[in-house]
Structure 1
């Protein structure tokens, strides 16, 4: 069956300095190992056609489908605080865009598809392990209800990539609302190309923030829109214990989606200073630092847009600062709202922040598992007999008891019945996350033994994170003592 993808490539119609036209590098033995059937249907594509030999050639980069216009996007970025004026897609090629049946435009990108003019000495390839990690974690995030890029397909190449060792090569087909990053604006701002910044802003507004076009100050409205989405996004990360790992400006999407799952991870025991990334040696992107880093990155976007706000520099800076200062309130509102839902609180009380913070501090001091603590609180909210299961997660169970009494007092002020509260808390507190030791076990099975069964099973579990899954209950367990994974790697 012939593969048909109805491409409509708006980014490729921008001026040539926005990208480089480049073909994926052919590989010797492409093999499709996973197709996301549900996502294919959401995009208006035929899963059956995308499951055949022709599709494997497309997903590995050997065949360019009709209508595609392969390009590598140009962008710059602050990496761990240091500015790099030219980065760009060094191992990813955007095939093109499709407009899905829901009317939303989506990028289709091959990640790991060979060298581009932005590869900076790299091979442009991806190893199988990072491809599987991004597939698992991005799909888990989608199931958790968090804005994210998605994985449409994963294919092996039949070739090896050289890292610390020789590893099987693979290509991920990534779907995104777009691949425009803060670093995309920095690329042109660093060159003093105000007109290109304007052109990119106009494009981003039309694609992602159409309401801003009608505002009296459209570029400020655009910045305010990006600030609002990023504040909401980072609050959602914290509510599920997610650490991005490399929140560089080139890894922050203008659309408000989570993008670039390199050394990311989910915390097991709650620790706001937790770092997983092997390259984050000073904790810049620790779990608790993520809101501040997001605001810092947004300030870099604002700097790029100053020339579009006003010809008067002081007025432009004032507008930028007003937009940026809204981040804190937006984040705090979203974060506290999420904590209320996790604690079963439907009404707002002034003391709720202190109640939630006290629990988190006690969890940190007692090495309580983040995901399990909140999940089990749902049962405890309905029946105090379930307190024992929560208490067991704390090194000192009395620490939980000292908090639980105040929490129950607060619940007594709420209008909903116990069953309704428990159901609402279960919708806010997942049972299953892609725990690091599970992801690493999946990768080891695939890389070392070519066994994709564990990958498929974990993907099934993560597709329904809020449901009780009796057959897979062990996937909710924290790692055994000494079995946690505390370092993750970028995969480049």
Structure 2
């Protein structure tokens, strides 16, 4: 299956990622493949066996043109700034341009250690992989902006999470994997020039109209705020609880990303939480609009130097 990669982030954003390859799954087995999404992306699987797909989408073999990287970012986790996070168990294989001219990241999640793993094994268990596959596709069916799931593959390797569990890799499709935490990292460590470079890339990719504004970086910020507000409003309409709205789980593309302890309400209760470590209810269902606003304040802080360099 040909992906026809056009890897703009790898090509133009050196220093914003670490090049690294996924681990090779020992015995990949295809569990699910999203044929409808593949068709949207212009991917032709005719003549490609399940075994070949499993190898390509598990790290056992790399598709032609893939340039795997792990992205660098920071994050405000439960309100506290962690200055160094990054993709600790995911490899961005590259970008493809769909027949309708939209650009998408193709990422393997649960594919092994990266320079940002911080002692973790970089792997994922089958249960969480299937949960993200199902919930992200349900959100898409509900018309809510979200990352998508192209495939779930069992690796044939075990992962230890209190007990041994079957390992798996999710192939995630996103408009991009640039997060509020990405801006926070480069603002904290590299200053306004790096933030401007990242902003220019994000503007060109997601909000091209902002490039024509008097202050493109302010216009970019306003566009992200609008996208986040629209996204959270849709969450609230369907009773979706993200669970962990840290800034590293907040996409500047306005998509739902990183399905961890998420769920839908069975009955309305504003104080419902779905993270076992959220003991104070910071990310409770009813708090989500306020947390989205808090996250946008953190983006504003990261962009401040770039905005004020132009004026506005």
Q: TM-score range by the shorter chain?
A: over 0.9
Q: Give the CA deviation at 1:49.
A: 4.6
The structure having more radius of gyration, on CA atoms, is: 1
Structure-2 residue corresponding to 1:121: 119
Match of 2:189 in 1: 191
* Conservation of the 8 A alpha-carbon contact between 1:35 and 1:50: no
Q: Do structure 1's residue 100 and structure 2's residue 98 form an aligned pair? A: yes
**1:81 paired to 2:76:** no
- Counterparts of 1:241-280 in structure 2, within 5 Å, are 241-280=239-278
Cα deviation, 1:209-254, whole Å, max 9, x if unaligned, reads 0000011111100000000000000000000000000000000000
Q: Contact 1:185–1:197 at 8 Å: present in 2 too?
A: yes
Asked if 2 retains the 8 angstrom alpha-carbon contact of 1:49 and 1:55, the reply is no
Q: TM-score, normalised by structure 2?
A: 0.98
1:243 and 1:265 in contact (8 A); partners too:
yes
Larger deviation, residues 7-16 vs 122-131: 7-16
Match of 1:236 in 2: 234
Determine the structure 2 residue equivalent to 1:462: none
Query: Which residue of 1 is the match for residue 58 of structure 2?
Result: 60
Report what 1:7 is aligned to.
5
Secondary structure, aligned partner of 1:13: helix
For residues 13 and 95 of structure 2, what CA distance do their matches in structure 1 show? 17
Q: 2:283 corresponds to which residue?
A: 285
> Corresponding residue for 1:385?
none
Shift in Å at residue 50 of structure 1?
5.1
Q: Which residue of 2 aligns with 1:180?
A: 178
Structure 1 residue 167, shift from structure 2 partner: 0.4
Give, in angstroms, the shift of residue 48 of structure 1.
2.7
**RMSD over aligned Cα atoms:** 1.1
Stretches of 4+ aligned residues off by more than 6 angstroms: none
Of 23, 26, 29, which residue of structure 1 is paired with 2:27?
Answer: 29
Deviation at 1:309, TM superposition (A): 1.3
Number of residue pairs the alignment of both structures matches? 312
Give per-residue Cα distances to partners, 1:187-213, cap 9 Å, x unaligned: 111114221111000000000000000
Q: Note the residue ranges of structure 2 that are not aligned, 5 or more in a row.
A: none
Distance 1:259 1:188 in 2: 21
Report how far residue 145 of structure 1 moved.
Answer: 0.2
Within 2, Cα distance between the matches of 1:121 and 1:158?
Answer: 22
Which of 150, 168, 171 is the matching residue for 1:170? Answer: 168
Shift of 1:27: 1.7
Q: Is residue 193–residue 306 contact of structure 2 (8 Å, CA) maintained in 1?
A: no
Q: Distance in 2 between matches of 1:115 and 1:310?
A: 38
The equivalences for 1:292-331 within 5 A come to 292-311=290-309, 319=312
Return the offset for 1:15: 3.7
Distance 2:13 2:42 in 1: 29
- State the distance in 2 between where 1:120 and 1:256 align: 28
Q: Which protein has the bigger strand share?
A: 2
Question: Cα gap change, 1:273/1:76 in structure 2, threshold over 3 Å: closer, same or farther?
Answer: same
State the Cα distance separating 1:311 from its structure 2 match. 3.9
- Paired with 2:3 and 2:18, the residues of 1 have a C-alpha distance of 22
TM-aligned CA distance change 1:246 to 1:199, over 3 Å = same
Q: Deviations over 1:61-102 (max 9, x none)?
A: 111111110000000010000101110000000000000011
CA displacement, residues 26-75 of structure 1 (integer Å, 9 cap, x when unaligned) = 12100111100000000000133554322111111111111110000000
Task: Evaluate the alpha carbon distance shift between residue 49 and residue 90 of structure 1 in structure 2; reply closer, same or farther with a 3 A threshold.
Answer: farther
Aligned counterparts of 1:90 and 1:49: Cα–Cα separation in 2: 34
Partner of 1:348: none
Give the secondary-structure state (helix, strand or coil) at the position aligned to 1:65: coil
Tell me: CA distance 1:50–1:187, structure 2 relative to 1, closer, same or farther (3 Å).
farther
The aligned counterpart of 2:148 is: 150
CA-CA distance at 1:301 after TM superposition: 0.4
Give distance in 1, aligned partners of 2:185 and 2:80. Answer: 14
- Unpaired runs of 5+ residues, structure 1, are 320-492
CA distance in structure 1 between the aligned counterparts of 2:15 and 2:74, rounded to whole angstroms: 13
Higher RCO (CA 8 Å, separation ≥ 6 residues): 2
